[in-house]
Amino acid sequence: MSENHELTEQDLATLVDRFYERVRADPELGPVFNAAIDDWPEHKRMLTAFWSSVTLGTKRYRGNPMAAHRPHPIRAEHFDQWLALWQSTANEVLAPEHAAKVLETAQRIGYSLRYGLGLLDKEGARPLGLPIATAR
């Protein structure tokens, strides 16, 4: 990983691949994701397209994330674990500035999904509580 290059789709593919391998093995997230995903290679391709669209502006993703998440037994605490895994994986595979960018985007996405799924805590619309940290 060079720290002087622009974020690329290959960087995102590596991040998505490593992240979802961790999700699949996670005791909290694995059961939810493994029950929902039949074709992991295709899911990873779709999520790489999603992250390419939201971080690189490629417009390759054409899905509806809210509709995709609605039918699943997702709890509020899943988002904190999802974000913690995303953060640790991004910090391992991306340059610090790129890890910070995808983490900030993930925090916004997680907040939007929690809001849309009715999973915000009683204090109201507060963002996910994990601080942004890019230290390796």
> Could you give all domains of the chain from N- to C-terminal order, each with its CATH number?
9-116 (1.10.490.10)
Alpha-carbon span 58 to 28, nearest angstrom: 32
CB 15 within 8 A of CB 89: yes
Per-residue model confidence as pLDDT tens for the chain (136 residues) = 445 689 999 999 999 999 999 999 999 999 999 999 999 999 999 999 999 999 999 998 888 777 777 777 788 888 889 999 999 999 999 999 999 999 999 999 988 888 888 887 645 444 444 444 444 3
| Global pTM exceeds 0.85 | no
**Half-sphere CA count of 42, side-chain side, radius 13 A:** 4
In 3D space, the residue among 114, 115, 85 whose CA is nearest the CA of residue 20 turns out to be 85
| Dist. CA 47–CA 31, nearest whole Å | 19
